[in-house]
Amino acid sequence: MVKLDVNLMRFLTIDDFIVLTAVEKAMENHALHALVPIGEVASIARLRHWRTGKIIGDLQKHKLLSFERGTRPEGLSLNVSGYDYLALNSLRKRDSVDAFGNQISVGKESNIYIVSAGEQERCLKLHRRGLLSFKRGVNKPNHHKRRRSASWLNLSARLAIKEFACMKVLHDRQFPVPQPYDLSRHCVVMN
């Protein structure tokens, strides 16, 4: 299980998040494999090639990206921590999360943390689909919308969207479920 360490997040620059987002977008374009060439990342990020290479090196050092050599094709892929940081950054920009607390629950398919937004204390659920769950989920056509292949990051995001929509409907109809506040990628913020 990947342990989320948010201390690094305050030291990441805008360019770091631009490169992480570029890798995410490029991975979506590569349906058959999740490895992305560095040149493609540089063109999506619209940064100079040498600058992109330096940022990628830093992100690899912090284990937000991984680069696989010797495989065909060789290239970059987004790690779980990188995906977590992208989601947390977008939640931070929307003022849904401004402080991060302790982990309150660990499961085989999700981790739950205490977070706050202003004076309100909330919960953040990070969907974590393990390999066994991913193999079972790929066989169900509802989860991957008739794609030939799907990464487990995308599958986790789709399942988070479904959970958020169900919670919203149930909460609006006065069922005793947590109130959903926001959603970003594979993260759901709730009461």
pLDDT tens, residue by residue, 83-142: 999 999 999 999 999 999 899 988 878 889 999 998 899 999 998 875 445 555 555 545
Query: Looking at the domain 97-190, which fold is it?
Result: Phosphorylase Kinase; domain 1 (3.30.200)
Considering only residues 132 and 162, tell me which one the structure prediction assigns the higher pLDDT.
162
What pLDDT is attached to residue 132?
A: 45
Q: How far, CA to CA in Å, does 36 sit from each of 51, 56, 109, 133?
A: 17, 12, 27, 25
What pLDDT is attached to residue 23?
A: 92
What pLDDT is attached to residue 21?
A: 94
- Residue 28, pLDDT > 90, answer no
Give start-end residues of each CATH 3.30.200.20 domain in the chain: 97-190
Mean pLDDT of the chain: 84
Name the architecture of domain 6-80.
Orthogonal Bundle (1.10)
The pTM score is: 0.85
Give start-end residues of each CATH 1.10.10.10 domain in the chain: 6-80
Q: What is the distance between the alpha carbons of residues 153 and 134, in angstroms, rounded to a whole number?
A: 9
